[in-house]
Homo-oligomer: A and B are copies of this chain.
Amino acid sequence: MTNHLCNDPLILVNFKTYSEATGKKAITLARTIFEIGNQTGVKVAVAPQCCDIMQIVSEVGVSVYGQHVDSVVPGAYTGHVTAESLKAVGATGTLLNHSERTIKLADILTAILRCRESGLLTVVCAGDVDATAAVSLLMPDMVAIEPPELIGTGRAVSKEKPEVISNSVRRIRAVNQNAKILCGAGISTGDDIYAALQLGAEGFLVASGVVRAPDPARVMSDFCEAANRFCESVK
């Protein structure tokens, strides 16, 4: 399947719990990503650790996502992260069900509903085509397909398993016309981005490829330029 549409691609950088993206370093990295987004006109966002969200929101201005939200309501739930709490510090949305923080099906659904009530966008992750189609039925704002075996490897899903992207796009669109479709796992060059957009991806969940790169700014530029090149090509 070749994609003939430029659907305003989003590049969302997951900071995980990398020491390169914790505390003050999270602020610096978020600023770098925000500036490259501004320079290239590509939509970018970051997903830092909870503790770092507020300062990035207030000092940087980039869109900030949580990495996880619990399905509980405000109340006596010590140690949980509520949608309300993320919203109160200015988050735009949150990841849910990342392969490093998988949750129960019922909790995915409840968390989506709770985020919607709180005004947070949801990016529900899944690891294969069937699961991605299944979560797209729960009406998240975005879904992200990431084969776990490629995460952190530098071997890009769009090169190693292109059929995972094209099949996910086909299966998701059969049941959900609206959710933005992200992909991730091993994305480390502009070529990986370009190839994924051709396969139908509309955005990206990236992590170590940017966060642990010797020069994150160069990698982000490479990513954003590839996205622009693709959008130019399908005009």
How many copies of this chain are found per oligomer?
4
Contacts of A151 in B (CB 8 A): 76
Q: Are A51 and B88 in touch, CB under 8 angstroms?
A: yes
A67 touches B (CB below 8 Å): yes
> Among the listed B49, B86, B100, which residue makes an inter-chain contact with A85, where contact means beta carbons less than 8 Å apart?
B49
Q: Are B104 and A102 in touch, CB under 8 angstroms?
A: yes
A163 touches B (CB below 8 Å): no
Question: A residues within 8 Å of B by Cβ?
Answer: 14, 16-19, 22-24, 47, 49-55, 67-68, 72-82, 84-86, 88-89, 95, 97-106, 108-109, 126-128, 130-131, 133-135, 137-139, 151-152, 174-175, 207-208
Q: Are A127 and B101 in touch, CB under 8 angstroms?
A: no
Q: Are B134 and A130 in touch, CB under 8 angstroms?
A: no
Q: Are B16 and A77 in touch, CB under 8 angstroms?
A: yes
CA gap between A23 and B88 in the complex, in Å: 5
CA gap between A174 and B133 in the complex, in Å: 13
Q: Are A100 and B79 in touch, CB under 8 angstroms?
A: yes
Q: Are B137 and A88 in touch, CB under 8 angstroms?
A: no
